[in-house]
Amino acid sequence: MTFTKNDDGYLLWLAYEGCKTAFSQSYGDYIKEVAIVGESALLDSVASECSRALASLVGPDVPLQRLSSSSAYNTSVPSLLIGRFDDIAAMLPCFTRTALPAKDGFRIVSGKADACGRTIIIAGSTDSGTLYGVFSFLRILQRGEDISTLDVTDSPACPVRMLDHWDNLDGSIERGYAGKTLWKWGELPDRVDSRYTDYARAMASIGLNATVLNNVNTQPQILTTEYLRKVRAIADVFRSWGLVTYLSVNFGSPRFIGDLTTSDPCDPAVIKWWKDKTAEVYSLIPDFGGFLVKADSEGQPGPFAYGRSHADGANMLAEALAPFGGRVIWRAFVYGHGENDRAKKAYANFMPHDGEFRANVAVQVKNGAIDFQPREPVHPLFGAMRKTDVYMEFQIAQEYLGQGNHLVYLAPMWKEILDFDTHADGPGSTVNKYLAGIAAVSNTGNYANWCGSLFHPMNWYAFGRLCWNSSLSSEEIAREWILATWGNDPVTVETILDIMMRSWEACIDYMTPLCLHHIMKEGHHYGPDPAFDAGEREDWRCTYYHRADKKGLGFDRTRTGSAAVDQYYPPVADMFNDLKTCPEKYLLWFHHVPWNHILSTGKTLQDELVARYARGVAEAESMLQKWKTLESRIDHLRFRAVLDKLYIQVADAHEWHDVCVPYFMSFTR
């Protein structure tokens, strides 16, 4: 099947072309009419999405009617009935035996007694749950699956599922590779771009329920009345799709825009300023989510300037937000203030304050202890902070993984982190069990294709699906996205799936094999520069991280080195500490390994490093060749757009090999 209306990528996975299967041919027999029970802005969105999608997936003449929650349905039950669980149960006694799904969850049933025969029922515990249930049902139709005997109960594993935008008020995006910001600040609030609705639809379709509009390296002006009115216009659109709006705020705002001489979190005037400003925010945006804060990191102001702690700063903001139900999300990305190993610093800064943060504070921790590298071991704070809500922070933007040029499917990376066993409460204490929320740095911009290439939306999609259900496999998610984006031609599906599933390990091999890390070019982080040794700070130098010398390679974080291993629980710490038991995929992160050390492959470290760089190049070339086999199966515009990116990726892989191998081998001589 060739898509015709999604050539520029704007429709993302919501093109609703559908897969032509034996089951899909019968959809018109099952869905003859649709009734939506209840009245709300969210249910209005349900109605508009059903009209749009069913016209393509079922047929153009499916009637849709709206019923109030008090309506009695006096004729035959419609073939597709949608609404809140309680409303449908009140209308249809046969449905009352079904268990109520969890918050924001839903039930989809058909062909069963509790579904009243052939009627398909989508019932949400809330209006937002109903919306998520509809999108889940539409995915079933997109995949061309049997809908005659559905029995689905689903709810989100994580309550806060958030996209963080590093967008600036001047329209630029820090670490953005798809154009300028989606938010047209110069036009707001008078003109509200229709793309805000399309963004919110995409977010809701994959279960995401929160968004931070602006950069964590933020401009204080976002809290001025002028900009808050602009934010309100965006939030009014998002609300109809279950999307809660947050803002990054500058901790120094009372001093920068409040005419105060200090931003000390214990100063009464500062406390009052934040309370007054927060009240103003909620007067404009009643369902506002809260503040995301980067403090005392990379030049951003924070409580340390006044001799206060992270807990002091976060709790002051939390007190201002608490009357309105808002939250403070306090980022743990700090790497100053003591400790001789940057990988240890966040743990050292935050663990002493576990239990001091207010209930409406969450500490947001990057997936690894350095900075969104192609591969990092899980951050030791996960499972360690037991008295504080902790959010995961991933990065979709691929800042260190080829940015807008390299095809790298990130779901396997995120699964590796979420499924990691911390042993915090014995075996089986996986990271996903300790998360109160999950956030990711967005890769969206104002390009027509949203994310810089036709493949980069796969990671936005995968992030949302894993936030909802981290037990989904990377392959399941990839298949969903392929079928919704590229069609159901078996050869096309399997070829793209193979490319996607091999891409992350290929990237690691041609960039940072065996857990080398942070050897990218300074500043923009694109391309290799392992010899860089001129950074203003020691931990801004590539040589700081790989520590190559004539003896070996890697950062010694064992108990005889920086002792970073002991920030993990003992079974994990012992595993990482021992060269014999440390997983080789993390080898050079935790050990300075002799060049002649024999790895599991039977090769010395020296030879294995060379082999892995070569393997990465070969895999990149293989991805290109596999894509070329699809030329006759994919429309020319999309085929060529992906091909051009893959040529760049292959050239970059060769550069990584040609720079890194001679550099590291020079130490072995």
Residue 395: CB partners within 8 Å, gap ≥ 6?
175, 366, 372, 440, 441
CA 450 to chain centre: 15
Catalytic residue among 29, 298, 476, 549: 298
Helices (H), 285-373: 310-321, 345-350
Please state the three-class secondary structure of 418-442 as a single string. HCCECCECECCCEHHHHCCEEEEEC
b/e per residue, 489-511, with b = 16+ CB within 10 A?
Answer: beebbebbbebbebbbbbbbbbb
CA torsion sign, 653 to 375 to 517 to 161?
positive
Which amino acid is it at 225?
Answer: T
The set of long-range contacts for 30-33, using a CB threshold of 8 Å and a minimum separation of 24, is 30/79, 30/110, 30/118, 30/120, 30/147, 30/148, 31/58, 31/62, 31/79, 31/80, 31/120, 32/62, 32/78, 32/79, 33/62, 33/63, 33/64, 33/65, 33/78, 33/79, 33/80
Strands lying side by side in the sheet with 80-84: 64-67, 34-37, 80-84, 120-124, 106-109, 151-154
Please state the three-class secondary structure of 228-287 as a single string. HHHHHHHHHHHHCCCCEEEEECCCCHHHHCCCCCCCCCCCHHHHHHHHHHHHHHHHHCCC
The token duo for 559 is: 């108990």
- Distance separating alpha carbons of residues 366 and 331, to the nearest angstrom: 8
CA distances from residue 35 to 43, 210, 238, 410 in whole angstroms, order as listed: 11, 28, 24, 39
- Distance separating alpha carbons of residues 650 and 412, to the nearest angstrom: 21
Dmax over CA atoms of the chain, in Å, equals 87
* 466 in Cβ contact with 371 (< 8 Å): no
- Distance separating alpha carbons of residues 430 and 425, to the nearest angstrom: 9
Task: Scan for tokens 């019932």, then name that residue.
Answer: 123
Helix, strand, or coil (residue 640): helix
Helix, strand, or coil (residue 152): strand
Catalytic residue among 399, 416, 608, 652: 399
DSSP 307: T
- Has 608 been annotated as catalytic? no
- Distance separating alpha carbons of residues 354 and 503, to the nearest angstrom: 38
Task: State how beta strands 290-293 and 327-331 pair.
Answer: parallel
* 589 in Cβ contact with 377 (< 8 Å): yes
Element (H, E) at 120: strand 120-124
- Distance separating alpha carbons of residues 252 and 296, to the nearest angstrom: 11
* 118 in Cβ contact with 65 (< 8 Å): no
Catalytic residue among 114, 371, 621, 655: 371
- Residue 51's CB is within 10 A of a number of other CB atoms, namely 12
CA torsion sign, 107 to 111 to 117 to 119?
positive
**Looking at 44-119, which runs of residues are DSSP E strands?**
64-67, 80-84, 106-109
- Has 193 been annotated as catalytic? no
| Burial class of residue 47, CB neighbours in 10 A (0-12, 13-18, 19+) | middle
Element (H, E) at 210: strand 210-212
- Has 371 been annotated as catalytic? yes
Task: Scan for tokens 């008090």, then name that residue.
Answer: 70
Residues annotated as catalytic (active site), given as ranges: 298, 371, 399
